[in-house]
Amino acid sequence: MPTPPDTLPKYLAEGLGNQSPDTLKDIIEYAQKLRDDKQHQKAVKDQRRRNKSDQYTDQLQEQDVSANPSDYDAVPANAYVTIKRIDDWQYYYWQWREDGSTWASKYIAPVNTRD
């Protein structure tokens, strides 16, 4: 029997090892569809995040604040601009994934409110 990848939880590896070839075929088809659906959901979510970031980038430029990640220390090129609310104040931050799962962020500037 082949060795399962280290990333596969033990309970799944043991359960899969007990399945018939036909059931494994069904599992493969389901897993591929599930993967495709999750990738699509992530792409949609990422696009929404990017669209919001573009809006915030425009707002920063109107305030003469750089919206270029390379102008900031330790901000990767794939970072995007978001707004965080702290107490009753809003601030622009760079935000990105550190290792695919952990979020990292870096302060940019306060959000100027227009009254």
The confidence band for 115, taking pLDDT boundaries of 50, 70 and 90, is very low
> Is pLDDT at 21 greater than 60 in this prediction?
yes
Q: What is the DSSP string of 69-115?
A: GGGSTT--TT-EEEEEEETTEEEEEEEEESSSS-EEEEEEEEPPP--
Which residue type is seen at 48? R
CA angle, 105 as apex, 111 and 36 as ends, to 5°?
110
Q: What pTM value is reported for the model?
A: 0.63
The confidence band for 49, taking pLDDT boundaries of 50, 70 and 90, is confident
The confidence band for 113, taking pLDDT boundaries of 50, 70 and 90, is low
DSSP bridge pairs for 109 = 92
Which residue type is seen at 62? E
